[in-house]
Structure 1
């Protein structure tokens, strides 16, 4: 396999990954907007929630837009490389260059404004805890949503188990949700054994742990795409020139 073939394979592999990632993100975005039982629907129903929460509720549209762009980029990259289409590769290069610039700007925004996002969620936390203490154990939708969230993230409440104090569930059972305890015995999950971390601290831990890695990988892939595309396009141009060259007599 020559250099030209290697570039084609690399372009196909990278853009295949981008295409699949775009499909996954698009699917998640559609699910967020369609699923009425999602966490966003729950947050939207919280009374007296901070006005800034409306921006979080638009995350579904953002995911759909990002997924669609990635699908287009992946398609153009794969087909442009396999079909050796300079037009498709040029379109791909322009889009990737714009995305790369946007990623750099987005990375700066994420790193700079991440503390502000944490403050917004903390501000929302008071209202969320009030909602838990009012409806958990009595409202089936709220109860099911929190159970699913805690099962998925392996966490307990918004801050910790005390969020459930004085909730209908705690008043009736004098216990805390099973997700708040390491023990599988529900009857022993009281304030002495409820040691599982809250969902907000757990989420912040995940963000702190993975943000830099995700941003670095995204920027690295975009930079590699920007470097590979002109090389592949130049190789295609040269191969076409040699193919159509008329031998001199």
Structure 2
């Protein structure tokens, strides 16, 4: 799979719309890019950019003010359906690391971990600012999971999960929980403490048998097959930019409990 991905990546030299290029470079959404272009803040090869124009990535000098937007700045955001057994780590000595498994031609890292035994949606990117804004717990961005446990789910279990469970010397943030089967429920979190769902269930006398992440904010796993990946669509990226526009990428203060990179 690695050679095919590399070939596809290196062949991305077709002309693309300038607003799309700026979006993929991690500068802003396409809508915001159009505003920058209209305001005369973008130049291509020293000339003021025009609305709707196309550029060739890596072949033309594109600037926002004095800042050169070079090919190495191109942003990559991938949606991956992580199989069980793959470890969220950048350590290439780990035989089953997500980095080795994906074998992408440029360096990307995960946005929010999934445990080795967990499956489902994992986002991978080379844009650190997006990682911080998406995963900072104080930004209250949603992550949705489908969970199967070893005992029949009761109304009491659902109520306690939703109102908050004491784990890791804290009480989890109130969340949305819905029973969808005798042993299966859906949960939407806005924080990501270490092994949060598993610890919450254990605290209430349940053991997690299966845990699958199905959504991160506006990005859904959908019918993406296990072990496969896809690039986010332009619409997904634009919506994502809108959702994180007012998010902050650093802790508000020492009291904030981040946990964002744990994911579940």
Provide TM-score, normalisation by structure 1.
0.25
Higher helix share: 1
Higher strand share: 2
Provide TM-score, normalisation by structure 2.
0.24
The structure number with the bigger radius of gyration is: 1
